[in-house]
A and B are shown apart, each in its own frame.
Chain A
Amino acid sequence: MKRGLITWDRAELPAAAFAARLSALDQLCADFDVPAIVAYSDVCRSNDVRYISNFMPYWNRALTIVPRGEKPILLCALSPRVYPWIQSVTIHETILPSPNLPARLAKLCEERGWSKVGMIDLAGLPYDLYTQLVTGNLTFVDIPRGAFRPAATDAEIAMHRHGAQLARSLLEAELTRSAIGLTDHELTGRIERRLRRAGAEDVVVLISDGRSAPLPARGTKVNENSSASVALEYNGHWVKLSRNTDNVTSTLPPREASQQVHRELLSGRYAWEGLTARDNSKNVITSIQVMIERGENRLYYGDSGVQGPDGWQLL
């Protein structure tokens, strides 16, 4: 679950930005001839709902409904005792207690007289929700994610960039030769402490001792061939970077075909997922992680950037 700082900084993401997104969703409602669009979210799939309302389902599932011309409605199974907090960090004013999400959605649609609604990425719903929803009386129109999320805006890119700068400066300070001799647990703790105190919402640290890919700490010692990978979420916006103790770098994207490269989408359904060719058609936030072979060892170097039709630019 999330245990970092979940907040809404109105200076970096003004209410007007959400108003523009809702306006675009209104247009999608018109395009798909539906009175409302629904988006699913859970702990590891929060990017889409974060985009709509800044809601982060830190410990559960939720459905966000955007009726045409209205502010979004949140259906969630979290206790009403946390609703004031949710309202303080999102644009949600209406939150409906929903221990049974499909039943509550059906009731809402009945109250509104809706017989069909749009669902973002219908086939991506968890199977239990999917079967309950599609076997009910409502008709669901699939709204492809490609239609829903346009190219990243300047405000989104700025938050990804802030996260990247935090992680970059931290790794450059912590992952030096002075880290050699620490256990990977100790290095993980140091990185987490500084990033979480700097306001990270979530942090995932993986360490390689040169003989493996970056993995969760397992008690090995940091050495001259060690690398650390940090995935950091800042106000709902992910970045991923890797550095190594010997400061070996690579051009990004790498020019040498022999280097093993993994590219990930950081603004997709999950926090990160493998990048496909179709994701390159517009500006999306991605990471490139490169494995550099050095003798029998592997070092890792990577960073995050904006991937578009014209190439990749470092954040």
Chain B
Amino acid sequence: MLNRDRQQQFVALMAERGWDLLVFYADAWRKDQFRCLVNVSFQGPQAVAILSRTGEVRAIVTHPWDLEPVAAAVNGKTVLAVQLTDGLDELLSKERAAVVAINGLEHMEARYVQVVHDALRVTPVSATLDVEEIRRVKTPQEIAWVKQAAELADRGYEQFVKVCQPGMTEFELVAEVEAFVKANGAEDNFMLVASGGTEVTGMKPPTQRKFKPGDSVTTELTPQVNGYYAQICRTLVIGEPTPKQQQAYAIFSAAQQAAQDLLRPGVDISDVARVQNDVFRKHGFGEYTGPQYTRVRGHNLGLYPDEFPHVLENVHYIVKPDMVVIAHPNTYLPLSGYMVFGDTLLVTRTGCESLNKTEKKLFHS
């Protein structure tokens, strides 16, 4: 489907910036850069949408199976070009655009940028940051989809707890959870796991490691519904948690709650990171909030599971209503090894609402 709210916003952006054409380029990794206007999960290696100042949308697809759904969504000219260069040339060579901007320019293969340049005889400018800024604040329809994804994340984690058992491998657990969320409506899923004890310093794709009693099994579970991701982070201990694991969990829980208590419109996102890190500092674990042990204290969510802004003390961004942010103080602690805990938060007019309903606790099997 065409995201008509975004279409209007992007046309207004074009007028403001003086752009004649706005091109949305996406490959199979960053489909979000196309789907923010044309919300179709294309299957070819690339897809392109071209928005004119009048709001007309045309598209190029690189796989025949994408032709019908994209054409139906844009209700305008849609070209199938197995080689994207041919499609760009066909749609752009007759254009008379003085200024062309590309959302996803940074990600676009240099050869395709050259084709755009040769067809229009102008050097395209990047629209990526402007489009990202618009995308950060979700429309009512987008919020509805994120809520569906969050509900599925909760059910997916319930399945995670149900099936996780000693002797099972990490990749078998992921297979079970992946199958569950797909069977229940997820279009895709971003998922990292880790298992073990204090030797575990981070998460990665699943391995053949088998779960043992006493393991911490961590996951970031991130189902996608109609293009939009929501995430849940929880830690499960196989067997009874040790006092140190419980002590670690209490720190993570307090840090996440501090972020949730602070997050509201007008707050600098750096402070959302700082209040989480302060909890670790208060307990003498401040060094474990740095890049040696952790990546981010959360991030924006939407059509991409790791949108900007990242929640970090050195990233400054004033939070707006209807942003969707996960706050997760995930890091390594010597008490427990790597531990994760986080919920998807919708920024409201006065604060934030957790979209996850899963109990906030250290799970154990």
Contacts and interface: CB of A to CB of B under 8 A. Distances in A.
Interface of A: 1-7, 42-45, 58, 79-82, 85, 122-128, 130-131, 185-186, 188-190, 192-193, 196-197, 199, 204-206, 212-217, 219, 260, 262, 269-276
Contacts of A270: 27-28, 45
A199 B171 contact: yes
B171 A188 contact: no
Interface of B: 27-29, 41, 43-45, 62-65, 67-69, 82-83, 105-111, 113-114, 171-172, 174-176, 178-185, 187, 189-192, 201-202, 204-208, 291-293, 295, 305, 332
A108 B222 CA distance: 37
Contacts of B65: 206, 213-215, 262
B41 A216 contact: yes
A255 B279 CA distance: 69
Given A5-B208, A44-B29, A206-B65, A130 B182 contact: no
Nearest to B222: A1
A123 B138 CA distance: 35
A127 B176 contact: no
Contacts of A272: 45
Nearest to A80: B292
B202 A192 contact: no
Nearest to A200: B175
A242 to B, nearest CB: 10
B109 A4 contact: no
Contacts of B68: 212-213
B179 A215 contact: no
A254 B107 CA distance: 37
5 contacts: A1-B190, A3-B191, A5-B205, A82-B204, A126-B109
B171 A274 contact: no
A7 to B, nearest CB: 7
Contact of A276 (B83, B179, B293): B83
B190 A271 contact: no
Nearest to A274: B82
Tell which of B27, B67, B191 has the most Cβ of chain A within 10 Å. Answer: B27
Nearest to B201: A81
Contacts of A196: 171, 174-175, 178-179
Given A5-B206, A273-B45, A217 B83 contact: no
Contact of A125 (B69, B110, B293): B110
Main secondary structure of the interface of A (DSSP, over half): mixed
Contact of A44 (B28, B205, B206): B28
A188 B83 CA distance: 29
A127 B105 contact: yes
Contacts, number: 154
Nearest to B193: A3
Which of the listed residues A123, A127, A197, A216 has the most CB atoms from chain B within 10 Å of its own CB?
A127
B187 A217 contact: yes
A3 B189 contact: yes
A128 B106 contact: yes
Contacts of B107: 126-128
A287 B180 CA distance: 29
Contact of B202 (A1, A81, A276): A81
Contact of A219 (B176, B178, B185): B185
Nearest to A260: B64
A124 B179 contact: no
B267 to A, nearest CB: 27
Contacts of B179: 189-190, 192-193, 196
Given A124-B109, A126-B110, 10 more contacts: A3-B206, A58-B205, A82-B204, A128-B105, A128-B106, A130-B110, A189-B184, A197-B175, A273-B82, A274-B82
A197 B180 CA distance: 13
Contact of B205 (A2, A79, A125, A269): A2
Contacts of A192: 175, 178-179, 182
Contacts of A271: 28, 45
Contacts of B62: 273-274
A42 B29 contact: yes
A204 B187 CA distance: 10
Given A3-B174, A217-B182, A124 B83 contact: no
A225 to B, nearest CB: 16
A209 to B, nearest CB: 13
Contact of A186 (B69, B183, B189, B207): B183
Given A4-B174, A4-B205, A123-B114, A189 B182 contact: yes
